[in-house]
Amino acid sequence: MDAPLSLNSEISFFGVGGKQAIFFIGSSTRMITKAIDSKDVHEITLSSEEFEKREKNKESIYKGFIKNRKQGDFSHISNDEEILRKLIHEEDGKDSFTAVVIQGISTNHISYLKNHLKVWTRQLAHIYHYYIHGPSGNALPKVPSPMNDINIEIKVFTKGQPTPRVINLQDIDNDMQTQYIRKAASTFQFKATVEGTGFVEGVMRYHPFLYEKETFPPDLNDFMTTDNEADDESDYGLDVRPARGKRPIFECYWNGRLIPYTTIDDFDWCSCPKKSRVLPLQCYNRVSGVLFTNDKFQVTTNKLTFQDLEIKLRDRSTVFSRISCGFKVQRTIDIGKEFSTWIKECYEKCDKQIKFSGFSGVCTRPELAKTRQSPWSVFNQIDWDGKTFKTGQQVKIIRTTPVFVGTIHRIMLYGGDHEDNCFATGGEIEVSQEPKSLYEDLKCVPLSKIDRAATPKMIKKLIEDEEAKLPLNMVISWPEGDEVTPNEIRPAGKTIGDIQIEIINKKGEMISKLPGSISMGPRKLFVELKVILHGTQGNKIINSHISQHGKNWPYWFKRMENIRQLGRYTLMLNVVLNESGNTKFAGKPLPSHTIDFTITEAAAAKFSIGMLEGPFCIGVPFDIPLEFQDEFNNASKPATETRPIIEASGLAISYGGAILKGNTLILRNIIAKGSLGTTTGKSFSLNITVPGLQEDTNTLKIRMLPGYPYTLMISDEVGLSVENGTPCVFDVQLLDLSGNLTNQSKATIMCKFSGEENLPVYKCDCFNGQARLTGDALFVKDLNTAGSELLANIEVQGYKDIKAIKRKVLLSPSTQASTMQLYYLKDNERVEIIDDSEITKHAGGKIENLEFEIKDEAGRKVDITQNFVSKIKVNWTQKVDKDLACKNRLPDIKVPNIVSDTKYCHISLAQTTVSLSFHIRSIHGKPAQIRCWCKGDSQIKLGEKYFSQILVMLMDEFGNDIVKMPRDSLKDLALSGDGLLLEETIRGFGQACTFDVEGIQFSSTTIGAKEMCVKYKDITCYVRFELIAGPPRKLSILGFLPNEVVSIHNDASLGKPMLVQLVDEWDNPSSQADIKIQLAKDPGIRLSPAPTPVKTDAKGQANFGKLSVSGKRGGVYDIQPKGFLGRYVLVSPKIKVTITADSTKPVKINVERSVETDWLLVGSQLPDFKVSVLAEDDSRIAVKGSQIIMKIWIPTDQYKTLPHPKAFGYEPNKKTSEEGVLIFSGNKAPVNAATYHIVFEYNNSIHRLHSTVAAIDVRPSYPVKLVSMMPPGTPTVSNTQKSSARSLIRSLQLELRDQYDNAAGLDVTGKVSVEIMCSKKCTEIPQLIGGTRKIEVQMTKGKVVLQNLLLQENSPGRDGQEYLLRCTAATPGLRNAIPPFDVTFLFYNDSKKQSQMAALTRERDSLRKTVNTYKSLFQTAQELATELRIAVNDTAREKANLQEALKKTKYC
């Protein structure tokens, strides 16, 4: 027979994949086994190193030697393998066994294997579950089976611990398969046959929904705990997990062993239906399953994945059949139907999905039979199939005619012991039928009659159908006519006709009363009519009537004729209930109808004259408004053909037409004509008549004023004659349309003259219609003797309609002076000076013999008299000689001395326009001075020609430049000078000067000032040059002698800056810039800062600064600057440097320790340290106590060799007779246990040194107290059945610490007794589970963990009493007794009071924690302030050291 669930031993129970698993964990294994019928023990060793060695030697790799030995014989095992020897020793007394020893554990797995032992052993129990527990698995109660006698123990040996950690796989009850088996409510077994010989056995388990949560086991790989209780002390905990979630249904076992990487989601026959389904989707999600295959299916080499299982199972040829009671069901029965029947039974029998909540009391139902009248528990809510039904919610009841829709009044469950939330499968609801406006009945129906498929939209539609019987609208008609239409505009006084009304519902039926049950009584409907006027001061009811429906007549209202007031009206018709006048029923308004209309004015019957806008002028149009009213004095519009008539005595009146605006007729453009006789105006009476009105005539008084200017009139009708230079005068008048003098004060009259140029324009303002027009004199220049005829054009500005008047004016020549002519002598010739001309003359000369002539406009000479001479004015002298002027002559004019100056001369006759002006420009005279200068820089390099020109300028006696000279004047220019090479000079005429000289060169070899003499005839000038160094050819080092040997200390400065100077071939300093200079040196020395190429500055110098030299002492080294100028290499003499030892430079800190030890206890005394500072010559340096400090700190990755900024600092505190030696003595070790680094730091403000790092281990002291790792708070417990309420401690870790709060019990092992006590005398002491007040817990390495301490159910205790949970360490070998650690807790008999006090206690603990946080913050701030003070002191000390060092260097 085949083994059940394919649990066979053809391959072996545990061999599948075993070797791969072993070599994944470690590097070698030793397998030891003994059969029950064998006397020998077989042992074989496999090692990866041995396999690799055989592979290299080309030997058979997988060939080994099986050792046969006696039971318990470990003679072949070395003494070093103590654990293996002990394991073999335990073989005695065992009939059969198999041991697999894995050695060489990989470092990647050690931490996991040690810290997660329970996790991976649980996974092993899941993998080999059915080999360990048999075909029925780890079920309760245990099912006996010949397969579950396998005993597998996992032992983990750790070095240093004599006792191994042992776990038996049969004792594990939290693996996944155990959870599936124990939490299943029903099973479905089946078998699949594949290709005849392949068999797959399957088991499906149903995990129901119970008590508000899913019972489907959570995945332990995702959740490390299965405790679904609330973490806090609340009364409930919710599980919202979606059952199986997205995990597949089936896990697959091959020959009884789990293949972990192959899972199957489902099969077609057991998947959730995609279309219609009777059961909720969650039911299909509550199924788990297992498949067991035989060895006909292939797996991968590592035994982790099936190769073809799912493909073969989904093949059409695969046959599935159900197994019931160990036998197959007939093939004709569809397994899909079997599965559907099974899962439906599970849903109906196992799931409890109706939850009753919100208990509100117990009631009695007298309408039922006596046996069922009471007790009925009343609830407010039920949860059923994912849907919630509450009191007040609308539901539909199924299987009722007509359709019954109502609101849940209360939910009832038979039985009076349901005071809390409960689950059940039945119950009833009390429903009030909807709509309430029609029904008042209450009915009780079973929960099963609730239509769960009914949606709120569907229920709302049913209620609306019932409410359709209520009145919906009114039908209004006008039997006698005179209908009022919506928004109609009606004239005042028009009649409103009779109104007939009918009321209809949504179904179109005419009704006169409300529908409803007979018990509610008849409810008649009336119709109310109101006519409302909407005024500015509010609404006013004009008419109000109520109509009742009769048997033979409908609702009726009579006609109305009293609507005359203008405004907006509303005709309102409302359906009202009975005589009460209520317009609402069941919270909804009854039908109503409103008609808005407007009452306007009637036809016009009279008129009045509106406001007029004056003044009124002759010939100026104006308007007259006429306002019309109807017979009720309402403003009304006139007829469109209305033509008013206007009449007045003494005036001719006409108008252009009429415009209608609203109710006003405006007569536009009325024009009145007539004579007034005065400019102040005259009054008239106007009669206005409108034909066709009842009152057709009105009279108006009006005053007319003169009109606007219409014509221009001049008194002189003949032309005028005036002399040239005199004004012209005109008398003018402005008249209106009727010939009246106008009174417009803003009229301006203008006269323009034509016939000649530059004639004036006359303007004047006309007052009261009359004015005199005149202006400037008329003047024409060069008027001929016959005179000139002008044309005057006179017009009114701004009045284009007034015609202009033209008059002729005869202008005759004037006898006044008109022209002037001036003459002077030039080269004995009389020359006329033209107006605005220019005269040239040598600088400093005079213009003499000036004569003038004056003529009038006719060309006649004017006689020069004494009176006439006084009118002659000139600008080159203050006063004109009268005697000289009478002879027609003027004073001489002085010519300016400067060529650039120009003199302006002006002659004029006072009181006339006669004038004449001209300019005098001076030119240079003969050469009298000479000036020389260099066009460029005055420097000349030795051996080179001057690169620029020497400019020579000749000047006259007044300093005016003479640029142009005759060609033969160049020979008169002579040059001379000391060392001047005349043959190299070149002389010529200049462009901006008189002469220029080029090619200046001197034969001298010394630098300095040189002069060159420039002479023109007997005029001389000197030019100064500066001879400078020639082109650079060498380098010179300033401040150092050639080949000088400089002796310095290592890393010391040369004492002087390295300043390199360019020099020419005659050793003169050269100032050429931008020449690259670099330093060459011996490779045995190093310069600091490292010199880089430097370019020369404007002085020809390159400054490398002060250089420090470092290298081996005792040698002589060379430093030589080099420069590069094109192809030339510039060199300088070398500087020789020798390095000597510096006895003042510190280079090393020497530290000697009084006691050589690697560890200390916290708070103990540090060893004494003798510290000295050594110089380069190994001699001690005198140091001060403030210059050296010892620092100690806990090292980090960043601060290993250098001290942390917050490191502890100690100063030397003991004197010694040795010079340069400081002693650090009597210092205390830190109080925090850790590994510390110690470094001595020397700082004299110039040099800073650190000693070699010394490590010291500061270990904890002896334990003196037992403390908690985390604050336990104040637990609050009760003695109820609920475990969470009885939980005293979830998890509390205690440890031993020394007086400095360091963990101090690493080598302490013992026990801790936990006892419940009371601080006061109390006879009722609570007890722990087991009925005891005291328990003992094992302590390891000074630590103990208290977990899940629960009080005994119904434990004694005083309500509200405070108790102590005293933890006492009972450990032998300690120096001092350890004080106990107490945890205070509160005890209550009432769970509700306990939960309230728990919340208050948590709040108190939170406040305490906040207070401690603030205290810690303040303490941190104080520590920070202390550190800042220390930093300030260190800075002050460093500042003093720097000042002292500066004083030594004489810089301060």
DSSP secondary structure string for all residues of 513-581: B----GGG---BEEEEEEEEEEETTEEEEEEEEEEE--SS--EEE--B----S-EEEEEEEEEEEGGGT
Assign residue 1299 a region (left: φ > 0; alpha: ψ between -120 and 50; beta: otherwise): alpha
Q: What is the pLDDT of residue 43?
A: 93
- Residue 24 DSSP SS3: helix
Looking at 35-113, which runs of residues are DSSP E strands?
41-47, 67-69, 97-103
- Note the pLDDT of residue 1450: 52
Count Cβ atoms below 10 Å from residue 1028 Cβ, excluding itself: 19
Question: Quick one: tokens of 680?
Answer: 């102040």
The 3-state DSSP class for residue 627 equals strand
Bridge pairing between strands 97-103 and 250-254: unpaired
- The Cα 137–Cα 290 span in angstroms is 12
* Residue in 115, 103, 99, 91 with CA at minimum distance from that of residue 154: 99
Vertex 982 angle, CA 977 and 985, to 5°: 115
Q: Cβ-count burial of 683 within 10 angstroms (0-12 exposed, 13-18 middle, 19+ buried)?
A: exposed
The low-confidence residues of the chain, meaning pLDDT below 50, are: 1, 10-11, 223-241, 1451-1452
CB 274 within 8 A of CB 234: no
Kindly state the helix (H) or strand (E) to which residue 362 belongs, with its residue range. Answer: strand 361-363
Q: How many CB atoms lie within 10 A of CB 1142?
A: 17
Name the 3-class secondary structure at 307.
Answer: coil
Amino acid at 1196: T
What 3 state SS string does 1283-1315 have? CCCCEEEEEEEEEEECCCCCECCCCCCEEEEEE
pLDDT at residue 2, as a whole number: 59
- Over residues 705-759, the pLDDT tens digits come to 888 888 888 877 666 888 887 888 888 888 888 888 888 767 888 999 898 888 8
- Residue 336 phi, psi (nearest 5): -65, -40
User: What would the pLDDT profile of 1247-1273 be if each residue is shown by its tens digit?
Assistant: 888 898 989 999 998 898 999 988 888
Token pair of 908 as six digits = 């004029």
Q: Terminal CA-to-CA distance of the chain, rounded, Å?
A: 110
Quick check: 868 and 824 in contact, CB under 8 A? Answer: no
Q: How is residue 212 written in tokens?
A: 């508000």
pLDDT for position 231:
35
Q: Is the pTM of this model over 0.75?
A: no
Predicted local confidence at residue 811, as pLDDT: 83
What pLDDT does residue 131 have? 82
pLDDT at 227: 38
